[in-house]
């Protein structure tokens, strides 16, 4: 039986072409595993973290150690020792496991070191010790330089982030910017990042260089929430503030207005809070919305095993199921139900829109208040600098003001988020049923839940073949 190995990849914050770097590391590792006739069973991918910074938890690295210890994998393939362990501490923890389980495999793409052997361990320790020192020195030097440039609003080097032109990072790439804005509108309308990721992958969007198969979830999230979109300069992933307390502005063209960007960030943050961890993809429009007419249990969609593309059999059914605590007596072919509900909901939303048109271009009413707080903060900082007040006084007064500012900013983000969400949902009313059914399922569900709280599917009796719309009862909100 082939030995089962895990592949470890890592990209540091300074490599801008993120997903691409990881994809290449992974490919090279897979090739190496192939050469040794090992089976690569799992990929551990840490991102945006610097292995030589202390106190940074590399979640996937930790998971890999656990799997290794538990015997889920029989070894590791990494791109190089640097990526795997720059801290001697990490290397020692790894070696400890190789001690416990002597037959483990080990390989890196760039050097021929095997920490499974005593010689290999000595070599690895020396290499990591040197790398650790030089990266500290180098990092201090480079950091100072980077910070200097960042404070001037200068762009960092490297390949252009998605959204800007490849040969000129200061200019917006109109196609990419359009894709970003469209995805952001979808996010506000309730579409999951995973859905956008799948679509982008199919369309070859989202990555500045073509040919990369895989795009990580967080990579897509980063593209859609990057402070760079509003022209903010970041430093180590954080928005950089100038001496005046204002965010440093970069020298490139922005893609979003501040309220657009804040709305998207707020929507994603809120959804994370509501749904920690992975959400189950809902495959059918009325899963969890439809209820059984007999027992009132929630009904889910079920794929029809006999269905094949082109066949006349039903693609899926809504079925009351004993497994989910239902009576199991009510079921209906899925597609006509979806179509009927789509029709009814779109009609209802058109009718309602005619009565109450929401104004979408309203400004947040507290702009002046926020500006005042920002000014207060700037004055306090200035007062300390010119020795009118002491540092102690400044630190006494500042936190309250900062809290006030942060609360106002949060409020502003929520305001625009709700406005944009209403706007994005409002678009539904001009859709045809077919256009509606072509949307991602979670977007369809958002629209449906806007009008309906449930759909009751009444029993159809035995032997009845034709779909009877009168047995489908929408429950309006």
Of 340, 336, 343, 339, residue with least CA distance to 467? 336
CB 290, min distance to Zn ion, A? 11
CB 401, min distance to Zn ion, A? 58
- Minimum CB distance to Zn ion smaller for 75 or for 293: 293
CB 333, min distance to Zn ion, A? 17
Rounded Cα–Cα distance for residues 417 and 420 (Å): 5
- Minimum CB distance to Zn ion smaller for 327 or for 431: 327
Decide if residue 320 touches Zn ion (CB under 5 A).
Answer: yes
Which residue number is nearest to Zn ion in terms of Cβ? 292
Decide if residue 295 touches Zn ion (CB under 5 A).
Answer: yes
Cβ–Cβ under 8 Å, residues 97 and 121: no
**Token digits for 186?**
């979808």
Decide if residue 294 touches Zn ion (CB under 5 A).
Answer: yes
- Minimum CB distance to Zn ion smaller for 215 or for 320: 320
CB 330, min distance to Zn ion, A? 5
Q: Which of positions 326-345 make contact with Zn ion (CB under 5 A)?
A: 326-327, 330
Rounded Cα–Cα distance for residues 98 and 73 (Å): 12
CB 331, min distance to Zn ion, A? 9
HEC string of 439-465 equals CCHHHHHHHHHHHEEEEEECCCCCCCC
**Token digits for 337?**
């139900």
Collapsed DSSP state (helix, strand, coil) of residue 363:
coil
CB 318, min distance to Zn ion, A? 11
- Minimum CB distance to Zn ion smaller for 327 or for 397: 327
Number of residues this chain uses to bind Zn ion (CB under 5 A): 7
Decide if residue 378 touches Zn ion (CB under 5 A).
Answer: no
Distances (CA, A) of 357 to 63, 422, 477: 52, 11, 18
- Minimum CB distance to Zn ion smaller for 96 or for 468: 468
Stretch that binds Zn ion, among 47-55, 144-152, 320-328, 424-432 (CB under 5 A): 320-328
Collapsed DSSP state (helix, strand, coil) of residue 372:
helix
Q: Which of positions 170-209 make contact with Zn ion (CB under 5 A)?
A: none
Collapsed DSSP state (helix, strand, coil) of residue 52:
coil
Q: Give the contacts of 339 (CB within 8 A, at least 6 positions apart).
A: 433, 437
The side-by-side arrangement of strands in the sheet containing 316-319 is 300-303, 316-319, 331-333
- Minimum CB distance to Zn ion smaller for 116 or for 326: 326
Decide if residue 97 touches Zn ion (CB under 5 A).
Answer: no
CB 328, min distance to Zn ion, A? 6
Collapsed DSSP state (helix, strand, coil) of residue 248:
coil
Chain positions contacting Zn ion, by CB under 5 A: 292, 294-295, 320, 326-327, 330
């Amino acid at each position: 039986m082939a030995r089962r190995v895990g592949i470890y990849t890592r990209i540091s914050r300074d490599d801008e072409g993120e997903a691409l770097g990881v994809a290449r590391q992974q490919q090279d590792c897979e090739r190496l595993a192939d050469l040794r006739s090992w089976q690569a069973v799992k990929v551990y991918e840490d991102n945006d973290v610097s292995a030589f910074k202390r106190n940074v938890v590399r979640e996937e690295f930790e998971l890999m150690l656990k799997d290794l210890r538990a015997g889920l994998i029989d070894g590791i393939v990494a791109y190089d020792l640097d990526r795997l362990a720059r801290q001697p501490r990490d290397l020692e923890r790894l070696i400890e496991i190789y001690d416990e389980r002597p037959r483990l495999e080990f390989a890196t793409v760039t050097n021929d070191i095997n920490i499974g052997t005593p010689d290999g361990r000595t070599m690895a320790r020396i290499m990591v010790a040197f790398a650790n020192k030089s990266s500290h020195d180098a990092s201090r030097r480079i950091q100072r330089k980077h910070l200097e440039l960042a404070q001037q609003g200068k762009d960092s080097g490297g390949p252009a982030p998605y959204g800007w032109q490849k040969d000129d990072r200061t200019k917006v790439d109109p196609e990419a910017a359009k894709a970003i804005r469209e995805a952001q509108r979808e996010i506000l309308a309730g579409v999951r990042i995973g859905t956008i990721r799948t679509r982008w992958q199919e369309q070859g969007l989202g990555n500045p260089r073509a040919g990369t198969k895989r795009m990580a979830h967080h990579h897509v999230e980063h593209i859609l929430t990057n402070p760079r979109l509003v022209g903010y300069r970041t430093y180590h992933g954080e928005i950089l503030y100038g001496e005046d307390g204002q965010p440093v502005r970069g020298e490139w063209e922005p893609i979003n207005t501040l309220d657009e960007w804040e709305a998207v960030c707020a929507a994603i943050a809120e959804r994370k809070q509501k749904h920690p961890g992975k959400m189950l993809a809902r495959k059918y429009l009325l899963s969890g919305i439809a209820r059984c007419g007999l027992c009132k249990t929630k009904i889910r969609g079920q794929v029809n095993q006999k269905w094949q593309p082109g066949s006349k059999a039903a693609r899926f059914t809504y079925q009351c199921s004993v497994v989910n605590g239902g009576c199991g007596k009510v079921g209906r072919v899925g597609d006509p139900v979806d179509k009927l509900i789509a029709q009814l909901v779109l009609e209802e939303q058109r009718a309602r829109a005619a009565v109450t048109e929401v104004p979408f271009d309203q400004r947040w009413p507290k702009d002046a208040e926020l500006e005042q707080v920002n000014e207060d903060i700037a004055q306090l900082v200035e007062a300390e600098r010119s020795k009118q007040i002491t540092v102690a006084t400044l630190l006494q007064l500042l936190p309250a003001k900062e809290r006030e500012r942060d609360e106002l900013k949060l409020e502003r983000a929520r305001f625009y988020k709700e406005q944009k969400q209403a706007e994005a949902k409002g678009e539904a009313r001009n859709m045809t049923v077919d256009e509606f059914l072509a949307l991602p399922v979670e977007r369809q569900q958002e629209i449906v839940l806007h009008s309906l709280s449930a759909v009751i599917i009444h029993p159809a009796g035995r032997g009845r073949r034709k779909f009877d719309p009168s047995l489908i009862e929408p429950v309006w909100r």
